[in-house]
Structure 1
Amino acid sequence: MNYKRFLKDHRFILIISLFYGLWIIFLTVLAILNQREVIFYDALSQNDISNKYCSNYPFLRYLLEPVIAVTFILKNQFTWIFLILIIYPILRIIYFILKRYGKYTSAKHEYMKEILRKLLKIAFEILSIGFLAIGLFTLIGYAILGLNFFNRLGFIPLQIGTFISTCIFFFLIAYFYVKLRYSNLKAKYLNLIQKKIKKEKEYQRKITNIIKKELIYLGAITFILFGMNTILISIHFTPHKISPTLPLNEDEFLFDFHSHTIMSDGWLTPEDRILWYMEQGISGAAISDHNNIQGALIAQEFIQRENLDFILIIAEEWTDHRNNIHMNYYGIEEEIVPLDSYRPGGPRAMNASDLIAYVKNNSGYVIVNHYNYYPNPNGGYGVPYTLEQLKDWGVDGFEITNMGDFVHGYEKIRGFCLNNSLICMGASDIHTNRDLNSFMRVQLEDPTNLTVTNIFKNLKNNTHEVVIIKLNPKVIIFPEFLRDFGLFVVMDFCNYILNLDRFQALSWILWTSAIFVVFLFSYRKIKKIALTY
């Protein structure tokens, strides 16, 4: 056998096989040597309490580990689109250069390229119509209801529209495949390729045509990835299970006091959010959608209907977009919106000080969310209102951690709360289907009294734990400007890979191997395609 000929004919598959082999070796080394480490840190006492808790994955999580990992890494920060906008032109320029030097000019290549063009065109047409419909519906809703449209419906139109458009797209792909395999469509494309080859030089001289074509391809790829991202973060995947090393006492509970559902800017339904909490060992939580309590009420009805052992706290995140201040209020089942969300016939509208006074006068509680410690132009710290102002107006406390974060002045806010007998609150502020990143361990003097009043009475003692969960403590940090251009996905993936346990690594090996086998089979089928003009 002529090995040089063999290497030349199968160069592409050999390169892919080389990368596959190196990846499997890397994962195998991780499976042998790596130990998953999860850090539990109490932001209130400022102690590492990892000996008090553990994080475990159920079997079903390992079965779907690569899919879930990609979902959690992409999350709801769609800035990865910038990365696509950078990478796509580079790859296309490389392709055109190689083609100019005689590469990728075979009939088989042209045949496959024409099929890909057809699929991208279908994707662009279907998904662009879908996203335009979503945009039009959103504009109409905003024109009628203002910000209350987003407060009431959240991401529901986006989720439904994306799901329908993506389903139509994949149905058309399946239909196209069947026609390609079982009809004379193949002959049609061969004839089409002949015509295109004759006109290619003349066509490529028209720069506007090239730009138009590339924009359609780029748009199609972006729409497909955006649609898949949206669908994935809307699925209730199996999360990790938080287990205290020693069982909780009867008077101890694990709470999360800040979360979101699809009734504002979250991605899970209220029902899924409750089940998501319960799967992670959480005793109770506050559903606190932006400027409405609809998600909390739906969750309450679900808990009662299914007779679930879960403590629900009805809350709202009062969200003043104009002044950039967010506050959770608890203990009153009434919707109150900031002045910029007011509309005739809508919920009661108030500014920050009036809201605090109203909630307090009605036996409720107010916590300031993810606040800042910036110097105020009028003196003191905190913008737009100083911490002292908010305290004087009557707030019950501040978040000292949010989304598992204990930076951005949270330590100084913690000190302010302790010095002024205010509640040090910690919350996940979870929007997506990712693993829970923080919770609070609260001990109640009367564990039979699970009212909001009793819970907050015990919180005022600041004897609870504000627990931050660091699932990937081996951290690689990219510069902020790189993260803003979408490279956060690369950074998060590296941190995730460095923290795999052996079963996660095994799941990746199995999934990667299955994909590689499918790739080899597809490559072999393509190589066997006989094309004659």
Structure 2
Amino acid sequence: MPIKVRADLHTHTIYSDGKGEPRDVIINALDKGIRALAITDHDTFKGSLKALEFIRNNDLLSRGDFVFIVGNEVRTLNGDVLVLCSEYPGTDNVPKSIPELLDWVAENNCVAVPAHPYDVLRHGIGDRVRRYKWHAIEVFNAGGALPVFNWRAAKAARELGLPGLANSDAHVPDLVGIAHTVFEVDDLTVESVFKALLNNRVMTIAHYPGPKLIIRRLSWSIKRRIRN
């Protein structure tokens, strides 16, 4: 009997430009009813590896109601792509050319999803969503993408017949799950989540953060820029 689970597959931690530790992202996800989570720090799997360590130490997977997906938001030569993997591929040395990245993804049992593709302010890949074969498209990004950018991504996904994902793009743990995707899965495993994605058994829940959360996000962004 298929079950429906909420998934947020685009989040960040201190291992790139996020505020929280991986454990903070996981705890917030569980508190929000997110049962499939990916940490996708920029150009590194380190956040995911720390998350796996926390999950093992706290025996979270034995509960049977949570699945973690190893992720990385790769800054390609043409913009940002979410790489989601069934397990850690063993390296942060990921190709930056889109064709080479897609070959690498296939070789490592991963999926590739353009992140906020039409957001010209945040390294979207633009109409390259139409030039290459993707597994899905992020059609709603709650982390700062303007509505017109999300609308264009959703339009491209419809025209290409690709699954669409809604994600929080949370850089502050409180924002995890503010937008998410409902997956219809056979069981809570990475394989089942990927199967649901590839078969387009997904439904986006598009929601922007309210004023308080927007202020927290902007406050963190300003602090990080000053610190750097």
What is the TM-score normalised by the length of structure 1? 0.35
1:456 Cα offset (Å):
2.1
Instruction: Give a deviation string over 1:327-357, Cα, whole Å, max 9, x none.
Output: 11112523666xxxxxxxxx35441210011
Letter in 2 for 1:467: I
1:411 Cα offset (Å):
2.1
1:367 Cα offset (Å):
0.3
1:195-214 equivalent positions in 2, closer than 5 A: none
Is contact 1:336-1:350 (8 Å) kept? no
Is contact 2:11-2:38 (8 Å) kept? yes
1:413 Cα offset (Å):
2.4
Higher strand share: 2
> How many angstroms apart in 2 are the aligned matches of 1:420 and 1:250?
26
State the aligned residue count.
204
Matched, 1:469 2:224: no
Higher helix share: 1
Between the two proteins, what is the percent identity of the paired residues? 23
What is the RMSD computed on CA atoms of the aligned residues?
Answer: 2.7
Q: 1:389 aligns with which of 91, 111, 131?
A: 131
1:366 Cα offset (Å):
0.3
Matched, 1:316 2:76: no
The runs of 4+ residues in structure 1 deviating greater than 6 Å are none
Instruction: Give a deviation string over 1:49-107, Cα, whole Å, max 9, x none.
Output: xxxxxxxxxxxxxxxxxxxxxxxxxxxxxxxxxxxxxxxxxxxxxxxxxxxxxxxxxxx
Gaps of 5+ in 2: 219-228
What is aligned with 2:170?
430
Letter in 2 for 1:421: G
Instruction: Give a deviation string over 1:151-191, Cα, whole Å, max 9, x none.
Output: xxxxxxxxxxxxxxxxxxxxxxxxxxxxxxxxxxxxxxxxx
Is contact 2:20-2:173 (8 Å) kept? yes
Is contact 2:116-2:153 (8 Å) kept? no
Is contact 2:118-2:149 (8 Å) kept? yes
> How many angstroms apart in 2 are the aligned matches of 1:455 and 1:365?
11
What is aligned with 1:95?
none
1:471 Cα offset (Å):
5.1
Letter in 2 for 1:326: D
What is the TM-score normalised by the length of structure 2? 0.78
**Shift in CA distance, 471/425, structure 1 to aligned 2, threshold 3 Å:** closer
What is aligned with 1:439?
180
Query: For 2:172, what is the secondary structure of its paired residue?
Result: coil
Query: For 1:440, what is the secondary structure of its paired residue?
Result: strand
**Shift in CA distance, 383/469, structure 1 to aligned 2, threshold 3 Å:** closer
1:334-353 equivalent positions in 2, closer than 5 A: 334=89, 347-353=93-99
Gaps of 5+ in 1: 1-248, 338-346, 375-381, 474-487, 493-533
Letter in 2 for 1:334: P
Letter in 2 for 1:281: G
Letter in 1 for 2:100: D
Instruction: Give a deviation string over 1:116-156, Cα, whole Å, max 9, x none.
Output: xxxxxxxxxxxxxxxxxxxxxxxxxxxxxxxxxxxxxxxxx
What is aligned with 1:209?
none
What is aligned with 1:263?
15
Matched, 1:371 2:117: yes
1:130-145 equivalent positions in 2, closer than 5 A: none
> How many angstroms apart in 1 are the aligned matches of 2:148 and 2:78?
16
What is aligned with 2:225?
none
What is aligned with 2:224?
none
> How many angstroms apart in 1 are the aligned matches of 2:20 and 2:194?
27
1:87-486 equivalent positions in 2, closer than 5 A: 251-308=3-60, 309=63, 310-320=66-76, 323=77, 325-331=79-85, 332-334=87-89, 347-372=93-118, 386-390=128-132, 394-403=133-142, 405=145, 407-436=147-176, 437-444=178-185, 446-447=186-187, 450-451=189-190, 453-470=191-208, 472=210
> How many angstroms apart in 2 are the aligned matches of 1:406 and 1:384?
14
**Shift in CA distance, 401/301, structure 1 to aligned 2, threshold 3 Å:** same
